[in-house]
Structure 1
Amino acid sequence: MSVLEIDRLNKAYGSVRALHDLTFDVRAGEIFGFVGSNGAGKTTAMRIMLGVLAADSGTVRWDGAELDLQTRRRVGYMPEERGLYPKMKVGEQLVYLARLHGMSAEEATRATEAWTDRLGVGSRRGDNVEKLSLGNQQRVQLAAALVHDPDILVLDEPFSGLDPVAVDVMSDVLRERAAAGVPVIFSSHQLDLVERLCDRVGIVRKGQMEALGTIDELRSTDRQRWLLDIDAPAETVTAWASSRAGVLVTGHAPRDGAVVLELTDHARGLEQELLTDALTLGAVREFSPVRPTLADLFRGVVSSDDDPEPPTEGPARRRRLGRRGKEAS
């Protein structure tokens, strides 16, 4: 069931349109990955969810009602830029933030101790934030989002600057919160983490949702790719594949004679026929489907942008699943 609904958000900064009918939802107990290139509109959308920015139009609803000041107090927010007081002690700061959300002094102290211990910075509660490493500051920033026991987590680049151990700790915390029914939405450029952690992913491009669904759903919309490895010279295999209707050679594997083929609609369902024909060139060592990673899918969506992330070219293709906005003009 959807608990957070983003409905046709629009936002412009002068002549620059940051959000264009951005539409998606987040479900109870779901970890939702919110990804896009620099400037795609992710941070703007998150700030509108929190009431830090006002949308030009569109609504943000929680449990069917528009978010107001009271419901926003139930959100745990972690901004991309560090929002901590550098000269304030870690423990005092977390207690202060928890009290702002309505907790008693005793509850705030207990929650501060629990979360700093859980995130591995319990021994630093008496230190000023500025004395901590960037990674430990990031842990404290997450503790600040969690300390008041929020009903939803909105995290902007939570894994930035973390070492592998800290990444594992934070990943476990997000899974635990989701298992407790708390919806988690986070943005990240670390697409391997997004793929590993998230139940669903939304890919934003130029302020609108271009792809939305589970990783398997996104893969199902991608063009079929197959690895064909034949005991024959690479140029022979490439020439043969290029002569087949509906078959495109999109890459070469390190081994001679191995190519990556893309099957268009014309060639789908003809894999057995292709394999039989390929055997005339030589022994087939492998003929298997290639499962695209989230990074591959991401490149396909943003490949026409000026500054895609990751900065690698890919097939220009848009995928649309689920709820999304209108086409950008």
Structure 2
Amino acid sequence: MTETILSLDGVTKRYSGQTAVDAFDLEVKRGEITGFLGPNGAGKTTSLRMSLGIIRPDAGAVHLFGKTPGAKVLERVGFLPEERGIYKKMKAEDVIVFFGRMKGMTMAAARKAAVDGLERFGLGDARGKKIKEMSKGMAQKVQIIATMAHDPEFIILDEPFSGLDPVNQKMLEDMIREEARRGKTVLFSTHVMEHAERLCDKIVLISKGRKVFDGSVPEALSQVPRRVIIETSGDHDLGQLLADTGSVSTQDAPDGLKGWVVDLAAGKDAQDVLKACVEAGVRLARFEPMRAHLHDVFVELVQGSSREAV
């Protein structure tokens, strides 16, 4: 049975009478990459802070490695907060050494981790540079290295891709995959769905402080309709012709054409739609099966949670 690294059981947190997180459950298993998704203000950061014991829930329970979060158990965790906070007058290497020493590393081990980490992220020549002299992206990479310096078992990253250019975003994705291959557990929050879709074994979606989805990426993608986009010439009524294949609606199309959207019914696929069109002699100017993306799931579930709240 896979060990549970982090569990939040019915946690609730209120600020000045406003509920930031509402009866929220979360379970992170060893070796998983879990994406913690949600729009800005959904309660992601508050949940992560409760996970680490930085703030206490008003209700519910938090267990980290089976224990209440405390100084000893936190030595096994690497945490990158959303609010980046490193000492601007310190040199890059010294910042990493400082954080490593705080996590119990020897001076020699912390120094080696700093040098290796800076080289890995392409900052070997900047080890003696002060943080205030670095770009925002460079400084963020230093903080990521500092988060990982003590080789934590459990890595929590709050919006880690913010501020990084595409090249460095890919570098961070590769690093997360490498850590998972080494048996580490990773939990990261984001509102950029592409990273989660590429990386995650599991995603948890929170909206307005409440969980609206918990499962794998394929399970998430199944939440939105499989869709076919069609443009035709001629007078065929596809609403009637394709009624057996799914829900058919019209959409804008170039002049001289008619546009249609088919949301496929369970058990139907794009081939069923194409066969019906061909057999009826429909003149097709466009026939495009659309692959669902996590972005579509995000929008659908977040909007659905808002409608339920209303």
Which of the five TM-score ranges fits, normalised by the shorter chain?
0.7 to 0.9
2:233 alignment partner, SS class: coil
Q: Relative to structure 1, is the Cα distance of residues 182 and 269 closer, same or farther in structure 2, using a 3 angstrom cutoff? A: closer
RMSD value over aligned CA atoms?
2.8
1:45 is aligned to 2:26: no
Amino acid of the structure 1 residue aligned with 2:186 = V
Q: Indicate conservation of the 8 Å contact 1:251/1:261, yes or no.
A: no
Determine the C-alpha separation between the residues in 1 that align with 2:158 and 2:175.
16
Secondary structure, aligned partner of 1:136? helix
Residue number in structure 1 paired with 2:20: 18
Q: What is the Cα deviation at residue 104 of structure 1?
A: 0.9
| % identical aligned pairs | 35
Report the Cα distance in structure 1 between the residues aligned to 2:254 and 2:106, rounded to whole angstroms. 62
Q: What are the ranges of 5 or more consecutive residues in structure 2 without an aligned counterpart?
A: none
Unaligned 5+ segments in structure 1 are 307-315, 319-327
Q: Taking structure 1 as the reference length, what is the TM-score of the superposition?
A: 0.83
CA contact (8 A) 1:227 1:286 kept: no
Taking structure 2 as the reference length, the TM-score comes to 0.87
**Which residue of structure 2 aligns with residue 109 of structure 1?**
111
Identify the residue that residue 268 of structure 1 maps to in structure 2: 266
Deviation at residue 177 of structure 1 after TM alignment? 0.7
> What letter is aligned with 1:290?
M
- Paired residues of 2:241 and 2:276 also in contact (CA < 8 A): no
Query: Does the CA-based 8 Å contact 2:231-2:253 persist in structure 1?
Result: no
Aligned position for 1:280: 280
User: Could you tell me which residue of structure 1 aligns to residue 300 of structure 2?
Assistant: 300
Distance 1:250 1:58, change over 3 A: farther
Aligned positions of 1:62-141 closer than 5 A? 62-141=64-143
Report the CA distance shift for 1:173/1:245 in structure 2 as closer, same or farther (over 3 A).
closer
Amino acid at match of 1:160: S
Q: For structure 1, which segment, 175-184 or 286-295, has the greater mean C-alpha deviation from structure 2 after superposition?
A: 286-295
Pairwise mapping of residues 1-329 of structure 1 onto structure 2 (< 5 A)? 1=2, 2-223=4-225, 225-229=226-230, 231-233=232-234, 236-237=236-237, 239-240=239-240, 247-249=247-249, 251=251, 256-263=257-264, 267-269=265-267, 277-278=276-277, 279-280=279-280, 282-283=282-283, 289-303=289-303
**CA separation of 1:84/1:232 partners in 2, compared to 1, >3 Å: closer, same or farther?**
same
**What is the one-letter code of the residue matched to 1:294?**
L
Shift of 1:137: 0.8
What letter is aligned with 1:87?
Answer: K
C-alpha distance 253-296 of structure 1, shift in aligned 2 (>3 A): farther
